[in-house]
């Protein structure tokens, strides 16, 4: 019995395969790009390869993410919020509050011990403080996300960068560069701005121990460090944070196949 969870985000498409005991068997990740179906196929292929199984071995596939309705090979779909809540509990069982920062969305979720959503708050239409925003700053600085991961927040002297609007923030970054400021200190400010936006969403749903940080942005340790500092609280985050939505999707798929 194998279940597949696939998370088609605005930036990246993630796929995981789990066996009947909820043990992870394979993972795949690709850029979503302009063709969601193609991205989903490629992510699935990568996960199948890692798991060493074929597509016909999969009992059930559940899709999530903004492109969840465009996947022909999934039988079920669920919202990202529900999947992230479930996936967070799987990774960190004591989680009660989740912050998910993805390509275009930032969501704070309060969950119960089973991973059910109690409350959630999302950023409005604007994408300031999300992965897309970080990408555009990286682009401006001619750097990559990998470079960003190397920035130690504690070693920077963060400059103030507005977190209300990406366009304004970009302008501020340009002004700092013009003033000859250090790139590291500018990024420290960018990370802090994202952390503050996340913290305000978290406070809206209510902070409860433990706090888990998920989504692609959680891989940037500078942001999670800044978040810990802003919240004055420890935050769980790991290298597979980007897969949490797909993990949740696979777990929900397992549940559904058991109920059948």
CB distance 12 to 103 below 8 Å: yes
Return the SS3 of 129.
coil
Interacting residue with other proteins among 24, 53, 122, 143 (CB under 8 A): 143
33 interacts with other proteins by CB under 8 A: yes
Residue from 94, 119, 167, 206 binding other proteins (CB under 8 A):
167
Smallest separation, CB 153 to other proteins (Å)? 17
Applying CB under 8 A, among 180, 234, 239, 260 the residue interacting with other proteins is: 180
Determine the Cα–Cα distance for residues 158 and 196; give it in Å rounded to an integer: 13
Estimate to the nearest angstrom the gap between the alpha carbon of 183 and the chain centroid: 25
Contact call for residue 36 and other proteins (CB under 8 A): yes
Contact call for residue 177 and other proteins (CB under 8 A): yes
Among 75, 136, 200, 221, binds other proteins (CB under 8 A): 136
SS3 101: strand
For other proteins (CB under 8 A), the number of binding residues is: 32
To 10 degrees, the CA torsion angle through 100, 103, 106, 109?
-30
User: How far apart, in whole angstroms, are the C-alpha atoms of residue 102 and residue 109?
Assistant: 14
Q: Scan residues 182-201 and list those touching other proteins (CB under 8 A).
A: 183, 186
Q: CA-CA distance, 54 to 126, in Å (whole number)?
A: 40
Which residues of the chain form contacts with other proteins (CB under 8 A)? 10, 33-36, 66-67, 70, 104, 125-128, 132, 136, 139-143, 165-168, 170-171, 174, 177-178, 180, 183, 186
């Amino acid at each position: 019995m194998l279940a597949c969870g696939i998370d088609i985000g605005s930036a990246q498409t993630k796929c995981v395969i789990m066996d009947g005991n909820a043990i992870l068997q394979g993972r795949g990740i690709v850029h979503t790009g302009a063709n969601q179906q193609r991205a989903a196929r490629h992510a699935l292929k990568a996960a199948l390869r890692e798991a060493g199984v074929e597509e016909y071995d999969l009992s059930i596939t559940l899709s999530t993410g903004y492109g969840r309705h465009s996947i022909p090979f999934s039988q079920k779909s669920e919202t990202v919020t529900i999947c992230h809540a479930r996936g967070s509990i799987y990774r960190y069982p004591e989680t009660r509050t989740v912050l998910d920062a993805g390509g275009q969305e930032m969501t704070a979720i309060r969950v119960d011990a089973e991973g059910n959503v109690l409350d959630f708050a999302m950023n409005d239409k604007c994408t300031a403080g999300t992965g897309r925003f970080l990408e555009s700053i990286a682009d401006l600085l001619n750097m990559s996300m990998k470079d960003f991961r190397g920035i130690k927040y504690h070693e920077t002297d963060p400059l103030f960068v507005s977190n209300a609007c990406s366009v304004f923030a970009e302008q501020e970054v340009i002004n700092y560069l013009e003033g000859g400021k250090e790139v590291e200190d500018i990024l420290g400010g960018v990370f802090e701005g994202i952390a503050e936006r996340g913290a305000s969403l978290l406070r809206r749903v209510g902070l409860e121990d433990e706090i888990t940080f998920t989504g692609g942005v959680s891989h940037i340790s500078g942001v999670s460090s800044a978040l810990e500092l802003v919240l004055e609280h420890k935050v769980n985050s790991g290298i597979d944070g980007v897969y949490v939505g797909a993990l949740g999707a696979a777990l929900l798929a397992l549940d559904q196949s058991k109920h059948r």
